[in-house]
Structure 1
Amino acid sequence: MIEPTKIQPIYQGGVPAFVVIPFADFAREHPKEAAAIKPLHPRIPEGDAVPHEVVSMHIDRDITYLRAWREYLGLTQAEVAERAGITQAALSQMESEEAKLRKATREKLAQAMGLNPEQIT
């Protein structure tokens, strides 16, 4: 049951038309519908943790963690390359190979995507 103090009514013409409730309450009452609602910005965990979605892309689609992270974050190769100060062609090559990235390159790419360098290894 949702606590009445957490409900925010929205009125149209002086009559209640909608209510806004905390998402946690909505998710508890409607788990399937809540699961279908995606966050506006992907979650980047602290430390060296990697979200399940990124791991799934890496395994299911057989792509590098670098590419999986970029796609998870909704970034283009051109955006990441520009932020990292490398060419798009160089990034494309890095994404298509499982070769270990040099430490300096990994750090540049991680910073360009707002990640910890260990998250893209």
Structure 2
Amino acid sequence: MIADVQIIKENNVPVFAVIPYAQYEEMRRRLAVAENLDAKIKFPLEVAEMNALKGYSLIKAWRIYRGKTQSELAAAMGITQGAFSQIEKSARNQSETLRRVAAVLNVKPEQLTLDD
């Protein structure tokens, strides 16, 4: 997500990171949505950072956090790696798909979306 970062240094020490305004707005939007989530739904910091700062889907962020490959999760779900890749990239998965992915990641389905 953040590709065009300019680092400003003082005395060779980074003091500011400048990003394009569109990226800043996207980060603000993601943060606002995350803050409005039900208080019972928690995300590890690493998952939140991968989602907000790198632009990873929550499914991808959780997969990486759990140390799993697409192939491993696809096998656990009884689907192909390519099919899992499509699920991971999709912004709008069906609730049954989210339940199945949540089960193999050992999370709540609500932890896989930013819907409020």
Please give the TM-score of this superposition, normalised by the length of structure 2.
Answer: 0.60
Alignment of 1:30-109 (within 5 A): 48-97=41-90, 99-109=91-101
Does 2:106 correspond to 1:114? yes
Root-mean-square deviation over aligned CA pairs:
1.2
Paired with 2:80 and 2:86, the residues of 1 have a C-alpha distance of: 10
- Structure 2 distance, partners of 1:83, 1:96, is 18
SS at match of 2:110: helix
Greater Rg over alpha carbons, structure: 1
Runs of at least 5 residues in structure 1 that lack an aligned partner in the other structure: 1-46
Calculate percent identity across the aligned residue pairs: 38
Partner amino acid, structure 1, of 2:104: A
Q: CA deviation at 1:50?
A: 1.0
**Deviating 4+ runs (over 6 angstroms):** none
1:73 is displaced (CA, Å) by: 0.5
Shift of 1:96: 2.3
Q: CA deviation at 1:84?
A: 1.6
Provide the TM-score with structure 1 as the length reference: 0.57
Count of residues in correspondence between the two structures: 74
Q: Which ranges of structure 2 fall in alignment gaps of 5 or more residues?
A: 1-39
Equivalent-residue separation in structure 2 for 1:65 and 1:83 (angstroms): 18
Deviation at 1:54, TM superposition (A): 0.2
The AA in structure 2 aligned to 1:77 is Q
